[in-house]
Amino acid sequence: MTNYVRAAIRKFFWPCTDNAEAGDVPGWVMITLMTAALVVLIWAIAGPALTDLFNNAINRILSI
């Protein structure tokens, strides 16, 4: 009876002991958020320069 109770408690508190990748979701969330933050940061810094570059290229094509 004691082994059964221990097994039940272990299964209740640690249900994923046999799955090695059970706790990997927070890592992927962190990677996704950091990537999004880098995109926003780069866009904020280089956005106006890239917009001017694009507009100059379009104006050169249209003026030919």
pLDDT at residue 1, rounded to an integer: 63
Alpha helices in the chain (DSSP H): 2-13, 25-62
- Is residue 11, in this structure, part of any structural domain at all? no
Domain count, the chain: 1
pLDDT at residue 40, rounded to an integer: 97
Do 16 and 22 touch, CB atoms closer than 8 A? yes
Domain that holds residue 51: 20-64
d(CA 59, CA 52): 10
- Is residue 38, in this structure, part of any structural domain at all? yes
Indicate the SS3 state at residue 8.
Answer: helix
Q: Is it the case that residue 17 has pLDDT exceeding 60?
A: no
What's the mean pLDDT when you consider all of the chain?
84
- Is residue 33, in this structure, part of any structural domain at all? yes
- Is residue 3, in this structure, part of any structural domain at all? no
- Is residue 12, in this structure, part of any structural domain at all? no
pLDDT at residue 47, rounded to an integer: 94
Closest-CA residue to 10 (of 58, 33, 50, 2): 2
Q: Is it the case that residue 2 has pLDDT exceeding 90?
A: no
d(CA 39, CA 33): 10
pLDDT at residue 61, rounded to an integer: 95
